[in-house]
Homo-oligomer: A and B are copies of this chain.
Amino acid sequence: MSDEKNVHTFTISQIADELDISTRTIRFYEEKGLIKPGRTAGNQRIYTPRNKARLKLILRGKRFGFSLDEISEMIGMADTDMDELAQIEKSLYFGEAKLKEIQDRKKELSLLEQDILATRKKLLQRFRELKHTATTNNKKENM
């Protein structure tokens, strides 16, 4: 009994189902160098939990409007040569920048929230005006 890859792995469709994306999407991310799953003897992709976590991270970035290019800068290209100092320094540098962006987005998120609340307030105001008019008219009609 060798302990070779004892971690349970997943097929592409298992991942797709779980993350609610298409297999095409997963392969597309691989094409772009964002993930790098292993292969079976028969050349089929196998995903480790680590691969899955990375995909989740990518999807999280997407939900914030980051482009795939930005995301790859953010989390680093597929673990190809993550071992050179220069590469690491670059990633660190980018990470800092992205952290700042996230701070900004947090602020903007609040602004957006305020905008929506303000809009809602106006709408409710208008809504009541209209209802009042309608009520008034109804009363007239009922007299």
Contact = CB atoms under 8 A, between A and B. Distances in A.
Interface residues of A, number: 42
A126 B95 contact: no
A121 to B, nearest CB: 10
B131 A119 contact: no
A116 B74 contact: yes
A65 B99 CA distance: 17
Contact of A112 (B61, B109, B119): B61
A111 B57 CA distance: 9
A139 interface: no
B127 A88 contact: yes
The 3 A-B residue pairs with the shortest CB-CB distance, nearest first, are: A65-B65, A95-B120, A88-B127
